[in-house]
Structure 1
Amino acid sequence: MERLIFGFPRWTPDVTWSGGGWEVAYPVANLGVLPLNRVARSTSLTTSATQFTMTFSAQRRVQLLGLVRHNLSIHAKMRVRIWSDASSTVLVYDSGWIDVWPPVYLPADLEWEDDNWWEGTYSAAEIAGTSATRPIWLGRLYSAHVIKVELDDVTNAAGYVQVGLCEVAQGWQVSVDPTLGFEEGFRFRTEQADAMGGVRYFNRREKPRVARGEIADLPRNEAMGRGYEMWRQFDIDTPFLVLPFPDETLHWLRTAYLARSVDPGRIAWAAANRSRYPIAYEEVL
């Protein structure tokens, strides 16, 4: 499997946002700030409204982006284009129109009678109420000065498109896979109370995804120059994208998200010029 990617360094704070049609109370600049419930919301569903442009102060090397906490419907599409110059004349990347919700099931996982058998995507019922992240992995580094994202979701039942954050990063792809035992799951926050008669009541609360593991044999210079620096610069408050296994596209929507570090422990000496690098992060809600 292809190796884990951390969205470090991140370029989102360097972006100037423009383009499209966005509500005054929910402007396009909200795509670059937290909390995630401070969304950018389009004024309509026309494709001229549901687009935005990111301009950097200088060329930035980019290979990872993410639409975080969006309300795009199951049949929505998107397009990402990247120019290396400030005047948007030198096009270096064009994704074409791609699905916002790519396949998440193999044909064997579904029954012939299922509405989503042909596409292998989530059904509309399955994503109801979901705050999703759509990662965009470019596969290599591109020198970017301007990035344009276009969204096509003209049948969205909400009557608008909204996104909590558009994260953009250079991306650090570790040179060594995590060791066996890498853990992924949730931190459950649902509250429960038992009545006198034994009936149990629940208050469902949103749950963050979590992951924990270790890279047992990371080159020392990488552990310090990348891993140590990410901890030092980001601490536990700065968010970043994570994409654990880029070639595992079937599970991107399950495993890729905006996260923050949870105190993972310490970098340990493994051997001459090799380090054990602990991993622990939790999704930003």
Structure 2
Amino acid sequence: MALDPKRVVLGWPNYIDDVTVSGGDYVETLPLANVQDRRFSVVAKTNGLDPTATQFVMTFPQRRPVAVVAIPAHNMSSSALVRVRVYRDQDGNDLVWDSGKRDVWPIVYGIADVIWGNDNFWNRRMQEGTRRSYTPLLTVFMDDAQIAGRIHVELFDEANLEGSLTLGRVFVSDVWQPHYNISLGPQYGYDSGTEVTTAKDQSRTEYFERFTPKRTVQMSLDWLSESEAFLRIHRLQRTQDIVGEILFVQSVKPSPIEFARTMIARQQSLDPLSHPYQLTYTNQLNLLEIL
């Protein structure tokens, strides 16, 4: 069933640890295998920008349901393109889905963010000079969940000024949408992490050790069926605990607002399922971004 843009999307588990990665051309000291490292700061780096180098293949040990491929912590430029092809078999002969070439970066600016006369006024495309101020996260959603034995990801960014591509831990998973959307009242915020030290002088001078803030979201699922409660949320808590990666997307319809909310996160706490009404369960989700 196609994803409903009016309902939240949660993706898990991340299959990347179980697949075999191959293809492309990567620096020996920063190999393709680094896309399987849990630390987003440990990246794979391509040898140059030729499309034969900037690609990779994920081969599954057995067929899996897959609905999204995401790449965080990348350095792809504002004009980069991506293509994802999904094959039912492990040998790559039975093609079941092809994204075609798509923009890596969605529209990230609102109307008030662009200036009349600039070359991006009408299309609101990202300007290369501001790319580093955004948290990089490429997401490619399939039209419907596919049964995958092999996935081929191609990246096209021959204009990249850095001369090579870097890729963080790849996220590839199935997704779930609750039958009823999250309730009104979700809370979005940041976990700062920045430390402030006050000197013991007359002016009480402050010194700052700044860290990148991590996004947070707290939401309530108030109308879960019994099967959703125990075969989705209860299972999510058991399998992912507070360390497992979860892709959070409030709507798959691309927009600057949705890009600002989309993140790979983990649960900060495992809140219990409540059973306030006959055949109805509720649960609070508290997510913290992984950087």
- Band the TM-score falls in, shorter-chain normalisation: over 0.9
The superposition leaves residues 195-232 of structure 1 with CA deviations (integer Å, 9 ceiling, x where unpaired) of 54355443321111110010111112101100110110
8 Å CA contact 2:273–2:281 kept in 1: the answer is yes
**Which position in structure 2 is the counterpart of 1:181?**
185
- In 2, Cα distance between the equivalents of 1:124 and 1:7? 30
**Which position in structure 2 is the counterpart of 1:279?**
285
- TM-superposed deviation, 1:91: 1.2
- In 2, Cα distance between the equivalents of 1:191 and 1:259? 22
Q: What is the aligned counterpart of 1:245 among 251, 265, 274? A: 251
The superposition leaves residues 225-266 of structure 1 with CA deviations (integer Å, 9 ceiling, x where unpaired) of 001101101111121222122225433432222111110521
Are 1:151 and 2:163 matched, yes or no?
no
- In 2, Cα distance between the equivalents of 1:37 and 1:63? 25
- Judged with a 3 Å threshold, the aligned counterparts in structure 2 of structure 1 residues 74 and 64 are, in CA distance, closer, same or farther, namely same
- In 2, Cα distance between the equivalents of 1:252 and 1:50? 27
Q: What is the aligned counterpart of 1:234 among 218, 236, 240? A: 240
8 Å CA contact 1:6–1:242 kept in 2: the answer is yes
- TM-superposed deviation, 1:115: 4.1
Are 1:225 and 2:228 matched, yes or no?
no
Are 1:160 and 2:167 matched, yes or no?
no
**Which position in structure 1 is the counterpart of 2:210?**
204
8 Å CA contact 2:13–2:245 kept in 1: the answer is no
- TM-superposed deviation, 1:185: 2.2
The superposition leaves residues 70-129 of structure 1 with CA deviations (integer Å, 9 ceiling, x where unpaired) of 111111111111111122122111111111111123445533134432321332232225
- Which ranges in structure 2 are unaligned for 5 or more consecutive residues? none
- In 1, Cα distance between the equivalents of 2:134 and 2:277? 44
- TM-superposed deviation, 1:26: 1.1
* SS of residue in 1 equivalent to 2:257: helix
**Which position in structure 1 is the counterpart of 2:37?**
33
- In 1, Cα distance between the equivalents of 2:102 and 2:257? 16
Q: What is the aligned counterpart of 2:63 among 56, 59, 73? A: 59
Shifted more, 249-258 versus 171-180: the winner is 249-258
**Which position in structure 1 is the counterpart of 2:18?**
14
8 Å CA contact 1:217–1:270 kept in 2: the answer is no
- In 2, Cα distance between the equivalents of 1:128 and 1:109? 16
**Which position in structure 2 is the counterpart of 1:47?**
51
- In 2, Cα distance between the equivalents of 1:193 and 1:160? 39
Structure 2 residue identity aligned to 1:254 = A
Structure 1 residue identity aligned to 2:115 = E
Are 1:90 and 2:97 matched, yes or no?
no
Aligned residues, how many?
285
Shifted more, 189-198 versus 142-151: the winner is 189-198
8 Å CA contact 1:103–1:120 kept in 2: the answer is yes
Q: How does 1:136-147 map to 2 (within 5 A)?
A: 136-147=140-151
8 Å CA contact 2:70–2:172 kept in 1: the answer is yes
- TM-superposed deviation, 1:20: 0.2
Q: What is the aligned counterpart of 2:103 among 99, 104, 107? A: 99
* SS of residue in 1 equivalent to 2:147: strand
Are 1:110 and 2:130 matched, yes or no?
no
Are 1:191 and 2:201 matched, yes or no?
no
Structure 2 residue identity aligned to 1:157 = L
8 Å CA contact 1:237–1:260 kept in 2: the answer is yes
8 Å CA contact 1:60–1:143 kept in 2: the answer is yes
* SS of residue in 1 equivalent to 2:38: coil
Structure 2 residue identity aligned to 1:203 = E
Equivalent pairs: percent with the same residue? 29
Are 1:268 and 2:274 matched, yes or no?
yes
* SS of residue in 1 equivalent to 2:230: helix
- Judged with a 3 Å threshold, the aligned counterparts in structure 2 of structure 1 residues 125 and 266 are, in CA distance, closer, same or farther, namely same
- In 1, Cα distance between the equivalents of 2:275 and 2:130? 45
Q: What is the aligned counterpart of 1:257 among 237, 247, 263? A: 263
8 Å CA contact 1:42–1:162 kept in 2: the answer is yes
- In 2, Cα distance between the equivalents of 1:59 and 1:100? 26
- Which ranges in structure 1 are unaligned for 5 or more consecutive residues? none
Are 1:124 and 2:133 matched, yes or no?
no
